[in-house]
């Protein structure tokens, strides 16, 4: 989305919410700049639909968070799996874990891979007694799954530029910690 499209979005919002139309010229410019920085990575038509959805759903002016959240929901409607459904995938991975290659590991869902952390962990769990896997590991998975999904969803809300910057900062911190 470019700056002109961002201005159109703000104009649409100002036409629907008096608290936005009452802003000074400087405040509107700051709002345009902020919205451009935080939503500029998204397609204009997607943002427009997310704004319209928000206008329909809420009598209050939307936040950037609400617009990004609605945009993500428009692209990925609630096709989220339950923790039990995800456990079925994780359990199959564990049962085939001894023979699993890195390529096979990478084919699985992001959330399940995040629980394991690495293929090595799947290999280790594959060597564990199935009773322990079906009780202890399953319990750990079910508790952590919702947190992992929430964390992934929060990450999706961030513009790609911010995600990249955070990754660079974390990589720098990791290198720095290794040097100490």
pLDDT digit string, tens, across residues 12-31:
999 999 998 888 999 999 99
Average pLDDT, the chain: 89
Encode 98-111: b = buried (16+ Cβ within 10 Å), e = exposed. eebeeeebeebeeb
The pLDDT, as a whole number, for residue 159 is 80
Specify the pLDDT at position 123: 94
Given a cut of 70, whether residue 175 has pLDDT beyond it is no
pLDDT in tens, 35-71: 999 999 999 999 999 999 999 998 999 999 999 988 8
Model pLDDT, residue 145:
93
The DSSP result for 73-98, as a single string, is: HHHS-S-PPPHHHHHHHHHHHHHTTT
Does residue 112 register a pLDDT over 80? yes
pLDDT at 162 over 90: no
């Amino acid at each position: 989305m470019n700056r002109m499209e961002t201005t159109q979005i703000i104009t649409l919002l100002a036409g629907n919410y008096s608290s936005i139309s009452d802003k000074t010229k400087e405040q509107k410019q700051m709002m345009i700049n902020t919205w451009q920085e935080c939503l500029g990575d998204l397609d204009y038509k997607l943002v427009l639909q997310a704004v319209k959805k928000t206008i329909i759903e809420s009598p209050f002016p939307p936040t950037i968070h609400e617009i990004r959240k609605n945009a993500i929901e428009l692209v990925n409607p609630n096709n989220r799996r339950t923790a039990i459904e995800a456990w079925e995938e994780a359990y199959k991975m564990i049962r085939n874990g001894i023979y699993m290659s890195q390529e096979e590991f990478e084919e699985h869902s992001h959330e399940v891979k995040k629980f394991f952390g690495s293929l090595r962990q799947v290999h280790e769990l594959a060597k564990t007694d199935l009773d322990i896997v079906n009780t202890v590991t399953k319990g750990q998975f079910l508790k952590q799954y919702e947190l992992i999904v929430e964390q992934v969803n929060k990450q999706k809300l961030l513009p790609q530029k911010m995600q990249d910057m955070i990754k660079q900062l974390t990589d720098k911190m990791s290198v720095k910690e290794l040097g100490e």
